[in-house]
Amino acid sequence: MNSTSTAQSSQGPGSQQELEQRLAVVGPKDTTRGFLFIAALDFMKTEANAEALKRCMEAAGNTNFTAFFSYPVATLLKLTYAAARELSGKYNGFDGAMQQLGFRAAPRFLESTTGKMLLSLVGKDPKRLIDSMPSAYKAAWEHGGCTLTWNGPRSGRLTYVNAIPVAYFSGSVLQILSAAQLKNAQAIGRQTSLSESTVDFSWD
């Protein structure tokens, strides 16, 4: 069943208008890695029916993605919006579904050579894992940027310049903290402009 609501098709989070505004700030040289597309489609295969999956594949241009090849951020925007709309009824709205997409994308990165290297740092010092996240961002994205500010020994803020909604990044940060087995990990996102956002994180 298509869970796209009337509100999403007009204005507000998940709306076509919002998607078009985000697409307008993305250029042809803005790319990201294929594993993010694969993760979203794999998630749809387990969480939605065949018709919903078909709509998402159409949104992504029916492309066969390769994990570490680069593809347009515009295509990822279309795919994640389509997927989050389909899953909004299951995950407490568009933002909840978008967060789940980010949460499921992180393991794909952690399985990579770079991701395994980052996780290997955890046993020595979890802070080093977080310190490496801006570099990890550069490995995955040719678009925008990611900067880190520490507020304390176990809390800080990641600032993103990226057209993808902040819920996606709060989901991926939470998954990375969880994969590092940090106790009571939290990641709270805030959209500060159309293409800028922050994720405040902490753990005990």
The single residue listed with the structure tokens 């994720």 is 199
Specify the CATH number for the domain of residue 192: 3.30.1380.20
For the ranges 134-138, 149-153, 160-164, the lowest mean pLDDT is seen at: 134-138
Clarify whether residues 101 and 33 are in a common domain. yes
The pLDDT tens digits for 12-61 are: 789 999 999 999 999 999 999 999 999 999 999 999 999 999 999 999 99
Residue 122 has pLDDT above 80, yes or no: no
Pick from 74, 108, 142: which residue ends a domain? 108
* Residue 5 is assigned to a structural domain of this protein: no
**Whole-angstrom Cα distance, residue 85 to residue 8?**
8
Q: Under a CB-based contact definition with an 8 Å cutoff, are residues 162 and 141 in contact?
A: yes
Taking phi over 0 as left and psi of -120 to 50 as alpha, with beta for the rest, 25 belongs to alpha
pTM of the model: 0.90
Q: How would residue 132 be classed by pLDDT, with cut points 50, 70 and 90? A: confident
Q: What is the pLDDT of residue 110?
A: 74
Question: Is residue 115, in this structure, part of any structural domain at all?
Answer: no
Does pLDDT of 88 surpass 50? yes
How far is residue 45's CA from residue 31's CA, in Å, rounded to a whole number?
A: 24
Query: What's the one-letter identity of residue 98?
Result: M
Q: Using CB atoms within 10 A of its CB, is residue 115 exposed (0-12), middle (13-18) or buried (19+)?
A: buried
Q: Are residues 161 and 196 in the same domain?
A: yes
* Three-state DSSP state, 56: helix
Looking at the fold, whether 20 and 93 belong to one and the same domain comes out as yes
C-beta neighbour count of 58 within 10 angstroms = 12
pLDDT, residue 104, reads 93
Name the more confident of 155 and 109. 155
Mean model confidence pLDDT for the chain? 90
C-beta of residue 78 within 8 angstroms of C-beta of residue 62: no
Q: Which of 44, 79, 108 is the last residue of a domain?
A: 108
Q: Quick one: tokens of 61?
A: 């241009």
Is there a single domain that holds both residue 131 and residue 84? no
Mean pLDDT, residues 84-101 taken together: 97
Tally of domains in the chain: 2
Q: Is the pLDDT of residue 136 over 90?
A: no
| CA gap 96, 94 in Å, rounded | 5
The answer to whether residues 131 and 186 belong to one domain is: yes
**Do residue 184 and residue 144 come from a single domain?**
yes
List CB contacts of 121: < 8 A, sequence separation 6 or more.
128, 129, 132
> Would you state the pLDDT for residue 196?
98
Domain boundary among 51, 82, 108: 108
The DSSP output letter for 67 is T
23 and 87 in a single domain? The answer is: yes
Mean pLDDT across the stretch 163-189?
Answer: 93
Please indicate, yes or no, whether residues 79 and 151 belong to a single structural domain of this protein: no
Residue 124 binned pLDDT confidence (cut-offs 50, 70, 90): low
pLDDT at position 26: 97
Domain contains 20: yes
Domain that residue 174 falls in: 125-202
